[in-house]
Amino acid sequence: MQLGNPAVPYSHERDRAAARASREALLARAVVRGALLATAHLTRAFVEPA
């Protein structure tokens, strides 16, 4: 869920604003680098961030 929408909070986050900012920065960096993400809980094991 958070790969598709990094603004969606996780129930155990202590600082939701910091967690969101961290996810957004990480995903933005992954896009710039052309990264391929290995995900454990999605229907496809490897996804390209858009």
Per-residue pLDDT, 29: 94
Domain coordinates of the chain in residue numbers? 1-50
Bridge partner residues of 46 (DSSP): 38
- The region, left, alpha or beta by phi > 0 then psi within -120 to 50, assigned to residue 34 is left
Does residue 21 have a pLDDT over 70?
yes
| Per-residue model confidence (pLDDT) at position 20 | 92
Segment 12-20 mean pLDDT: 92
pLDDT band with cut points at 50, 70 and 90 for residue 42: low
Phi, psi of 40 (to 5 degrees): -90, -25
Helix or strand holding residue 33 (H, E): helix 16-33
Q: Provide the pLDDT confidence category of residue 43 given band limits of 50, 70 and 90.
A: low
Distance CA 7, CA 36 (A): 21
